[in-house]
A and B are shown apart, each in its own frame.
Chain A
Amino acid sequence: EPEVTQTPSHQVTQMGQEVILRCVPISNHLYFYWYRQILGQKVEFLVSFYNNEISEKSEIFDDQFSVERPDGSNFTLKIRSTKLEDSAMYFCASSPGTSGRPSTDTQYFGPGTRLTVL
Chain B
Amino acid sequence: GNSVTQMEGPVTLSEEAFLTINCTYTATGYPSLFWYVQYPGEGLQLLLKATKADDKGSNKGFEATYRKETTSFHLEKGSVQVSDSAVYFCALSRGNQFYFGTGTSLTVIP
Where the two chains meet, the residues of A that have a C-beta atom closer than 8 Å to any C-beta of B are 4, 6, 31, 33, 35, 41-45, 48, 50, 55-56, 58, 91, 93, 95, 102-112
Cα distance A48–B49 when bound, in Å? 20
- B95 lies within 8 A of A103 (CB): yes
Cβ contact within 8 Å between B43 and A102:
no
**Chain B positions within 8 Å of A56 at CB level:** 95-97
B90-110 interface bits toward A, Cβ cutoff 8 Å, 1 = contact, 0 = none: 010111111111110000000
Contacting residues, chain A, for B51 (C-beta < 8 A): 104
Interface size of B by CB at 8 A reads 25
A103 to B44, CA, bound (A): 18
Q: Which residues of B contact A (CB under 8 A)?
A: 31-32, 34, 36, 41-46, 49, 51, 89, 91, 93-103
B-chain residues with CB within 8 Å of residue A102 when the two chains form the complex:
93, 95-96
Q: Are B46 and A45 interface neighbours, CB within 8 A?
A: no
Cβ contacts under 8 Å, A31 to chain B? 96
Name which residue of chain A comes closest to B97, CB basis: A45
With known contacts A41-B102, A42-B101, A42-B102, A55–B96 Cβ distance under 8 A: yes
Residue pair A50, B46 in contact (C-beta under 8 Å): no
Q: A104-B51, A106-B49 are in contact. Are A48 and B102 (CB under 8 A)?
A: no
Q: Within the complex, which residue of B42, B46, B89, B102 is in contact with A106, where a contact is CB–CB below 8 Å?
A: B46
Please give, as numbers and ranges, the residues of chain A lying within 8 Å of B89 by CB-CB distance: 43
* Chain A contacts for B43, CB-based, 8 A: 4, 6, 91, 109-112
